[in-house]
Amino acid sequence: MSSRVLGRRGKKLDLRSAEELRAERRKGRTGQYLVLPGMIGLALFFALPVLVLLAMSLYTKPPGAEIGEFVPALQFSNYAVMLEAYWPVLLRSFWFALIATVLALLIGYPMAYLVAVRLRQHGLLKGILLVLLIAPFFSSFILRTQAWKQILSDEGFIAQTLKAVSLLPADGHLTATPIAVVAGLTYNFLPFMVLPIYANLDRLDTRLLEASGDLYANPVTTFTKVTLPLSASGVFAGTLLTFIPAAGDYINASLLGNNRNTTMIGQVIDSRFFRVIDYPGAAALSFVLMVSILILVIIYIRRFGTRELM
Amino acid sequence: MDTETQTTRRRARGSSEGADLELTGICKRFAEFIAVDQLDLVVPSGKFFALLGPSGCGKSTTLRMIAGLEAPSEGSISIGGQDVTELPSHKRPVNTVFQSYALFPHMSVLENVAFGLKRKKDREAMPKAKAALEMVELGHLATRKPAQLSGGQQQRVALARALVNRPQVLLLDEPLGALDMKLRRQMQLELKTIQTEVGLTFIHVTHDQEEAMTMADVVAVMNEGRIEQLGPPRELYELPRTAFVANFLGKSNLMRGTVSGQEDQLLSVDVAGNRILLPAARAVATEGEIMVGIRPEKLQISATEDTTAGMNRLDGIVKDASFTGTTTEYLIEVEGIGLIGTFAQNRGQQPGEMGQRVFLSWDPVHTFGLRGSESELAGVEEA
The CA distances from residue B4 to A235, B8, B81, B223, B334, in Å, are: 53, 6, 9, 35, 60
Judge whether residue A3 has pLDDT over 80: no
- What pLDDT is stored for residue A306 in this prediction? 57
Positive or negative: CA dihedral A64, A68, A72, A77: positive
pLDDT, tens only, B266-276: 999 999 989 99
pLDDT band at A229 (very low <50, low <70, confident <90, very high): very high
User: Per-residue pLDDT for B191 more than 80?
Assistant: yes
Distance CA B133, CA B112 (A): 10
Cβ distance of A216 and B100 shorter than 8 Å: no
CB B170 within 8 A of CB B162: yes
Confidence grade of residue B11 (pLDDT, cut at 50, 70, 90): very low
Do A252 and A92 meet the contact criterion of CB atoms below 8 Å apart?
Answer: no
pLDDT in tens, B38-70: 999 999 888 999 999 998 899 999 999 999 999
For testing the chain B interface, which of A122, A214, A227 should be mutated: the one with the most B CBs within 10 Å? A214
CB B63 within 8 Å of CB B51 = yes
Note the ipTM here.
0.81
Per-residue pLDDT at B348 exceeds 90 = no
Residue B8: pLDDT above 70? Answer: no
Q: What is the pTM of this model?
A: 0.79
Note whether A228 contacts B: Cβ–Cβ < 8 A: no
pLDDT in tens, A24-51: 776 667 878 889 999 999 999 999 999 9
The mean pLDDT value for B181-187 works out to 82
pLDDT in the model for residue A10: 45
Spatial distance between the Cα atoms of B239 and B249, rounded to a whole number of angstroms: 11
With a cut of 90, say whether residue A222 has pLDDT above it. Answer: yes
Chain B: residue whose CA lies nearest to A209: B102
Percent of chain A with pLDDT over 90: 54
Least CA distance to A213: which residue of chain B? Answer: B90
Do A189 and A105 meet the contact criterion of CB atoms below 8 Å apart?
no
Which residues in B lie closer than 8 A to residue A233 (C-beta atoms)? none
In chain B, what percentage of residues exceed pLDDT 90? 60
The yes-or-no verdict on residue B72 having pLDDT over 50 is yes
With 60 as the cut, is the pLDDT of residue A11 above it?
A: no
Closest CA to B294 of B345, B257, B347, B320: B257
* A211 has pLDDT over 80: yes
Band (pLDDT 50/70/90 cuts) for residue B1 is: very low
Q: Please check whether residue A226 touches B, CB under 8 A.
A: yes
Answer for the pair A256, A148: CB distance below 8 angstroms, yes or no: yes
Task: Tell me how far apart the alpha carbons of residues A116 and A137 are, in angstroms, rounded to a whole number.
Answer: 20
pLDDT digits (tens, 9 = 90+) for A57-107: 999 988 888 888 888 889 899 999 999 999 999 999 999 999 999 999 999
pLDDT by residue (tens digit) across B197-247? 888 899 999 998 888 998 999 999 999 999 999 999 999 999 999 999 999
**Among residues B205, B212, B217, B162, which one has the least CA distance to residue B46?**
B217
Task: With cut-offs at 50, 70 and 90, classify the pLDDT of residue A154.
Answer: confident
- From chain B, the residues in CB contact with A225 under 8 A are 115
Interchain contact A229–B (C-beta under 8 A): yes
Q: pLDDT band for B136, please (50, 70, 90 cuts).
A: confident
- Check whether B318 has a pLDDT greater than 90: yes
Please determine, for residue B18, whether its predicted confidence score (pLDDT) is greater than 70. no
Fold of the A78-304 domain: MetI-like fold (1.10.3720)
Q: What single-letter amino acid sits at B210?
A: E
| Residue A290: predicted pLDDT | 93
User: Which stretches does DSSP call E strand in A37-164?
Assistant: none
For chain B, what is the mean pLDDT?
88
pLDDT of residue A14: 58
Q: Which pLDDT value is given to residue A111?
A: 94
Which of 230-269 (A) contact B at CB < 8 A?
230
* Per-residue pLDDT, B382: 61
List of chain B residues whose C-beta atoms are within 8 Å of the C-beta of residue A207: 98, 100, 102
